[in-house]
Amino acid sequence: MLAPHGVWSSPPSSRQTELQSGWRIISARNVSAGGEQVSCAEFDASSWFRISRMPATVLQALEDAGVYKDVYYGMNIVDHVPQDLWKQDWWYRTTFDAAAHSEVYSLIFHGINYRADVRLNGHLVADKSQVVGAYNSFEFIVSKYIRPGGENVLAVKVTPEQRILDVNGVELGDSWLDWINFKYLGYHDPKRNLNVSFVPDRNAGVWQRVLLSSTGKVLVRNPYVETDLPLPSISPASLTVYCDLRNGAAEGVAGTLQGEISRPGKTPITFQQEVTLQGGETKEVFFSPAAYHQLSITDPDLWWPCQFGEPALYQLRLDFSVGGRISDAASIDFGTRKVTQHRDSDNDFPKVGTGGNFWLQVNGKDFLIRGACYTPDLLFKSDPERDQAIVTYARDMGLNMLRWECKLADNTMLDRCDRAGIPVMQGWMCCQQWEHWKQWDDEDHWVALASLRARIYNLRHHAAAFIWADGSDGRPPDAVGSQYHQVLQELHWQNGVVDTVSNYQKDARG
């Protein structure tokens, strides 16, 4: 079954194994067998293309396998790559061993573009009416299908994004006219007889990490520390700790949630509470400084942007124990800081637009933004050396903010920004489906909200996360905007929010 909201976005723990190896890929056009057969051990996938690294979009996997060569050279991506890769489904398949003696097993998908059928050992885990949205995330309890201590087969049939600005609706994926240089790659170019506005596979595939979780009955998910300062004073800092606990068993369970906050040179802070969960229940649990006085910290080490001071990080560790045995654990790094947003009045800045001039303060100090856009590789290839170079360049150039316009990199890029003191802004993109609200159907509405939950769960614990943008060129209609703000409030988003990044307001597009 789908987890509530389809979202579980904790960093990997010792009880989670990333499924990186053994993957193969093939066009579904070349597979006559059904999904039940493809996901069984007896099925022969030896002729499929090997995927040398995961995660990988379809075109990235095929380039790595040598099917298409040097796609960035000259016009190869247009002249030597079929432009209909997005018009066919694609099978991803791997085998893996599952640890014995765990009580609950689950599969975590941090990103599939655009929809998929997920099968394990011949069983349908979820279909493409459930697994929808490039920026959505999913966790499925698969205990009844898993083979503990033995080999398992996972098969994912991916359907690429099909619709852009269709009268019958859209799909809230990744396509963006500015993503490639459409002037030279043939966008509406009659001389080349091409109509290209995206890469040939539309970045379809299993483009974010896949994890196997093996735990006791209770899963620890979405750890987070909300920090507050009594500005203009910066001491004491008030910390509120949150996490979601999910009972993966049918019967009720009682246990102890324990937490520790640590930083080198500081005395660790510990806290705990007893929690009872019904069978299958998910519950948000929190520790407040009002009830746990040790979470009010005198003279904290603050996280500062790189030009203001040290980006100090603390670590939170949470574990849930049942009968003295740890069922699951999770940990994150976080920064103690307070970001506040402000607007001048229109009377003072009449030409700026509705709401006046937007500005931020960090820990009570004015923060002049000198930013730039960040984009990952065109095919979303994870490249740690490239990302480290970008962070280093940003600091050397005196930049103090990087913006992701929906082109989301691997989480390691956010980790680098946390450690380097480079604030980031993330949010939905301009130009295409995300701002043509009048064409949204019922599926688009729930996918938008589920995707927002996934992104905020993933982003909120990062010290570098300063701003979320609900819109880019346009501003969402009131109904959509209100739902976005409700999600942000429910997930305790403590940072800046803008409904558009444009200095003028466009009407909701048709």
Q: What is the 3-state secondary structure (H, E, C) of 150-184?
A: CEEEEEEEEECCCCCCECCECCCCCCCHHHCCHHH
Tell me how far apart the alpha carbons of residues 382 and 51 are, in angstroms, rounded to a whole number: 14
**Confidence band for 5, pLDDT divided at 50, 70 and 90:** very low
pLDDT at position 2: 40
332: pLDDT strictly greater than 80: yes
Tell me how far apart the alpha carbons of residues 7 and 16 are, in angstroms, rounded to a whole number: 16
- Provide CATH code, domain 369-498: 3.20.20.80
Asked if 378 and 179 count as a contact pair (C-beta separation under 8 A), the reply is: yes
Which one has a higher pLDDT value, 177 or 290?
Answer: 290
Percent of residues, the chain, with pLDDT higher than 70: 88
Residue 212's CB is within 10 A of a number of other CB atoms, namely 22
* Structure tokens given for 15: 């009880």
Q: What are phi and psi of 388, to 5 degrees?
A: -65, -40
Instruction: Tell me the per-residue pLDDT of 334-346, one tens digit each, with 9 for 90 and over.
Output: 999 999 998 876 4
Integer CA distances (angstroms), 282 to 220, 252, 323, 327, in order: 10, 11, 20, 15
Contacts for 183 with CB less than 8 Å, ≥ 6 apart? none
Nearest CA among 94, 126, 93, 89 for reference residue 202: 89
Tell me how far apart the alpha carbons of residues 294 and 240 are, in angstroms, rounded to a whole number: 11
pLDDT at position 408: 79
Write the DSSP symbol of residue 207: -
**Confidence band for 352, pLDDT divided at 50, 70 and 90:** very low
pLDDT at position 416: 94
Query: Which of 15-19, 69-73, 196-200, 282-286 shows the lowest mean pLDDT across its residues?
Result: 196-200
Nearest CA among 251, 256, 252 for reference residue 322: 256
The average pLDDT across 225-236 equals 97
**Confidence band for 196, pLDDT divided at 50, 70 and 90:** low
**Confidence band for 358, pLDDT divided at 50, 70 and 90:** confident
Instruction: Tell me the per-residue pLDDT of 393-432, one tens digit each, with 9 for 90 and over.
Output: 999 999 999 998 878 777 889 999 999 999 999 999 877 7
Contacts for 276 with CB less than 8 Å, ≥ 6 apart? 252, 253, 254
Integer CA distances (angstroms), 106 to 214, 248, 367, 410, in order: 7, 9, 43, 21
The average pLDDT across 125-147 equals 96
DSSP per position, 259-286: EEEE-TTS--EEEEEEEEE-TT-EEEEE
Integer CA distances (angstroms), 80 to 64, 129, 327, 462, in order: 15, 33, 51, 41
Mean pLDDT value across the chain: 89
pLDDT at position 350: 40
Percent of residues, the chain, with pLDDT higher than 90: 71
Tell me how far apart the alpha carbons of residues 510 and 507 are, in angstroms, rounded to a whole number: 9
Nearest CA among 105, 85, 189 for reference residue 152: 105
* Helices within 7-56 (DSSP H only): 35-38
The average pLDDT across 139-165 equals 93
226: pLDDT strictly greater than 90: yes
pLDDT at position 15: 86
- Residues 474-501, buried b or exposed e (16+ Cβ, 10 A)? bbbeeebbebbeebbeebebbbbebbbb
Question: Under CATH, which architecture does the 4-213 domain have?
Answer: Sandwich (2.60)
Which one has a higher pLDDT value, 242 or 185?
Answer: 242
- Helix axis angle for 478-490 and 442-459, nearest 10°, is 30
DSSP bridge pairs for 16: 213
Instruction: Tell me the per-residue pLDDT of 70-102, one tens digit each, with 9 for 90 and over.
Output: 998 988 888 899 988 999 999 999 999 999 989
Tell me how far apart the alpha carbons of residues 326 and 317 are, in angstroms, rounded to a whole number: 13
Helix (H) or strand (E) holding 386: helix 384-396
Helix (H) or strand (E) holding 439: none
357: pLDDT strictly greater than 60: yes
DSSP bridge pairs for 57: 205
pLDDT at position 1: 37
Which one has a higher pLDDT value, 227 or 473?
Answer: 227
Asked if 435 and 473 count as a contact pair (C-beta separation under 8 A), the reply is: yes
Write down the domain spans for the chain.
4-213, 218-334, 369-498
Tell me how far apart the alpha carbons of residues 19 and 21 are, in angstroms, rounded to a whole number: 6
Q: What are phi and psi of 267, to 5 degrees?
A: -75, 125
Integer CA distances (angstroms), 133 to 136, 173, 409, 444, 451, in order: 5, 6, 16, 9, 7
347: pLDDT strictly greater than 90: no
* Structure tokens given for 362: 């960090």
508: pLDDT strictly greater than 90: no
11: pLDDT strictly greater than 80: no
Tell me how far apart the alpha carbons of residues 218 and 250 are, in angstroms, rounded to a whole number: 11
Fold designation for 218-334:
Immunoglobulin-like (2.60.40)
DSSP bridge pairs for 259: 271, 318
- Residues 21-32, buried b or exposed e (16+ Cβ, 10 A)? eebbbbeeeebe
Query: Which of 34-43, 87-96, 150-159, 344-353 shows the lowest mean pLDDT across its residues?
Result: 344-353
How far does Cα 162 stand from its chain's mean position?
Answer: 22
Tell me how far apart the alpha carbons of residues 175 and 134 are, in angstroms, rounded to a whole number: 10
Asked if 417 and 466 count as a contact pair (C-beta separation under 8 A), the reply is: no
pLDDT at position 462: 97
DSSP bridge pairs for 340: 361
The average pLDDT across 253-272 equals 96
